[in-house]
Amino acid sequence: MSILHAIKNASIDEVEAAGLFWRVRRICSADMAKAGVAFLQVATPQTDDDQTPEEVMKRVTPKQAGEMATLQEATVCAGTIAVGDGEKWDDLKLVIDQKREDPDKGVLWVGGLPAGVVDVLFTRIMSLSTDGEEAAERLASFREESGNSSDLGRTRKNVRKTAP
């Protein structure tokens, strides 16, 4: 595997939800910034008092809650790339607009996913997108296993294979 594939694969992971495996990727900084600012505006207390999450949620309006859900779904749409059963994978594009759904072309409406799947995917995508250490460790792992030009004593026999 080339170093370029290793870099690409360091930002991709698989997570299990609703009995299926979902392949997700890190999303770009611009998408992260949009979601982060919106969540901060909704979740940041308006007072200097320490508030519990329950207290913060009490002051969230239905409109704000809807905006947060839309941002969560948009993040999942941007970061989900495939779904599989453990053996076979299908490329997947998730969309927010139900009218654009076309299962024959690998396009599904995010609102039609099984209950709980969006939360699981969102959590993993956010982790991949915000935890630079994890991606660096995954890339370093590849470099250690595959050897490099500065350490001619290493062999490539123990190279970890990653999903395409």
pLDDT, tens digit, 9 for 90 and up, residues 85-98: 989 999 999 998 89
How far is 43 from 47, CA to CA, in rounded Å?
12
Boundaries of every domain in the chain: 3-146
Give percent above pLDDT 70 in the chain. Answer: 57
**What is the value of pTM for the model shown?**
0.64
Closest to 76 (Cα-Cα) out of 40, 129, 133: 129
**Which region, left, alpha or beta, applies to residue 86 given φ > 0 means left and ψ of -120 to 50 means alpha?**
left
Cβ–Cβ under 8 Å, residues 66 and 75: no
Q: Predicted confidence band at 2 (pLDDT cuts at 50, 70, 90)?
A: confident
Lowest mean pLDDT, pick from 25-29, 30-34, 40-44, 124-128: 40-44
pLDDT for residue 89: 96
